[in-house]
Amino acid sequence: MLSLPRKQSLIGYVLILPALLIMSLLLLYPFFYATWLSFHTKMIGAPAIYVGIKNYLDVLASKDFYIGFLRSITYTFPAVFLKLILGLGLALILNQEFKGRRIMRSLAIIPWVLPVFVVAFIWMWMYDYALGALNIILRSLGLPVVRWLSIDNAMMSLIIVNVWKGFPFFFMGILSGLQSVPQDLLDAASVDGASTIQRFRYVTIPYILPVIYIVSLLSIIWTYGDFTTIWILTRGGPGDASLVLPVLIYQTLYAEFDAGKASALSILTMPFSIFFIYLIVRLLRR
Amino acid sequence: MGKRGTRIFIYLILAVVAAVILLPVYWMVIASVRTPNDLYSKSLIPSEITLSNYIEIFSNKPLRQFHIYIRNSLIVALSVMCICIIVASLAGYSLVFISYRGKDVFSSFILFGYVFPGFILMVPIYTIFLSLNLINTYYGLILADLIGAIPFSTWMLRGYMMGIPKDLIDSAMVDGCGHLSALFRVVLPLTAPGLVTVAIFSFVGSWDSLLFPLLLITTEDMLTLPIGIMRFAFGEAYHWGPLMAAAVICTLPPAILYSLVQKYLVKGLLAGAVKG
List the domain boundaries for chain A: 63-285
Distance (Å, whole) CA A227 – CA B227: 13
* B274 chain-A contacts, CB cut-off 8 A: 173, 176-177, 210-211, 214-215
User: Do B145 and B184 belong together in one domain?
Assistant: yes
At residue A18, does pLDDT exceed 90?
Answer: yes
| Closest of B28, B64, B38 to residue A121, by C-alpha | B28
∠ CA A115-B228-A72, rounded to 5°:
55
Between the alpha carbon of residue B154 and those of residues A201, B81, B84, the distances in Å are 36, 12, 8
User: Do B132 and B15 belong together in one domain?
Assistant: no
Q: Does A117 touch chain B (CB under 8 A)?
A: yes
| Nearest by CB: A259 against B111, B123, B254 | B123
Residue B111 contacts residue B180 (beta carbons within 8 Å): no
Give the distance from residue A246's alpha carbon to the nearest chain B alpha carbon, in angstroms: 6
User: Do B191 and B149 belong together in one domain?
Assistant: yes
Distance (Å, whole) CA B31 – CA B28: 5
ipTM: 0.92
Residue B88 contacts residue B157 (beta carbons within 8 Å): yes
pLDDT tens for chain B, 276 residues: list them.
567 888 888 889 999 999 999 999 999 999 999 988 888 888 888 888 889 889 988 887 777 889 999 999 999 999 999 999 999 999 999 999 888 888 889 999 999 999 999 999 999 999 999 999 999 999 999 999 999 999 999 998 998 898 888 888 888 877 777 888 888 888 888 888 889 989 999 999 999 999 999 999 999 899 999 999 988 876 646 688 899 999 999 999 999 988 887 767 666 565 555 443
The pLDDT assigned to A270 comes to 92
Give the distance from residue B153's alpha carbon to the nearest chain A alpha carbon, in angstroms: 10
In this structure, what CATH number is given to the domain that contains residue B136?
1.10.3720.10
Of B20, B40, B55, which marks where a domain is finished? Answer: B55
Give the distance from residue A254's alpha carbon to the nearest chain B alpha carbon, in angstroms: 9
Residue A129 contacts residue A148 (beta carbons within 8 Å): yes
Of B55, B74, B93, which marks where a domain is finished? Answer: B55
Residue B172 contacts residue B109 (beta carbons within 8 Å): no
Range A95-108 average pLDDT: 85
Range A181-187 average pLDDT: 83
Range A160-172 average pLDDT: 95
∠ CA A26-A30-A32, rounded to 5°:
135
The pLDDT assigned to A90 comes to 93
The pLDDT assigned to B170 comes to 82
| Nearest by CB: A269 against B98, B120, B151 | B120
DSSP state of A143: P
Does a cis peptide bond (omega within 30 degrees of 0) precede residue A168? no
The pLDDT assigned to B274 comes to 46
CA B67 to chain centre: 19
The pLDDT assigned to A164 comes to 97
Thinking of the domain A63-285, which architecture would CATH place it in?
Orthogonal Bundle (1.10)
Q: Does A271 touch chain B (CB under 8 A)?
A: no
At residue A160, does pLDDT exceed 80?
Answer: yes
Distance (Å, whole) CA B16 – CA B246: 28
Distance (Å, whole) CA B36 – CA B105: 58
The pLDDT assigned to B169 comes to 83
Q: Does A161 touch chain B (CB under 8 A)?
A: no
Distance (Å, whole) CA B2 – CA B34: 46
* B268 chain-A contacts, CB cut-off 8 A: none
The mean-pLDDT minimum among A106-110, A179-183, B152-156 falls in A179-183
Residues 56-85 of A with CB under 8 A from B: none
Mean pLDDT of the residues in chain A: 90
User: Do B39 and B72 belong together in one domain?
Assistant: no
* B252 chain-A contacts, CB cut-off 8 A: none
Distance (Å, whole) CA B59 – CA B232: 12
Output B174 or A115, whichever has higher pLDDT: A115
Range A92-105 average pLDDT: 86
Distance (Å, whole) CA A1 – CA A121: 61
User: Do B140 and B245 belong together in one domain?
Assistant: yes
At residue A272, does pLDDT exceed 90?
Answer: yes
CB proximity list for A128: less than 8 A, separation 6 or greater:
A135, B238, B240
CA-nearest residue of chain A to B37?
Answer: A131
* pLDDT, tens only, A60-82: 999 999 999 999 999 999 999 99
User: Do B51 and B83 belong together in one domain?
Assistant: no
What's the domain count of chain B?
2
The pLDDT assigned to B110 comes to 93
Packing angle, helices B66-97 and B192-207, rounded to 10: 140
Between the alpha carbon of residue A235 and those of residues A53, A62, A228, B124, B264, the distances in Å are 29, 20, 9, 22, 36
Domain that holds residue B88: 60-275
* pLDDT, tens only, A129-155: 988 999 999 999 999 999 999 999 999
Strand-pairing partners, residue B61, are B64
Between the alpha carbon of residue B191 and those of residues A83, B84, B151, B184, B195, the distances in Å are 31, 15, 18, 10, 6
Q: Note whether B240 contacts A125, CB cutoff 8 Å.
A: yes
At residue A1, does pLDDT exceed 50?
Answer: no
Residues 8-27 of A with CB under 8 A from B: 8-9, 11-13, 15-16, 18-20, 22-23, 26-27
The pLDDT assigned to B276 comes to 33
Strand-pairing partners, residue A50, are A40
Confidence of residue A170 (pLDDT cuts 50, 70, 90): very high
User: Do B49 and B129 belong together in one domain?
Assistant: no
At residue A3, does pLDDT exceed 80?
Answer: no
pTM value is: 0.93
Residue B123 contacts residue A34 (beta carbons within 8 Å): yes
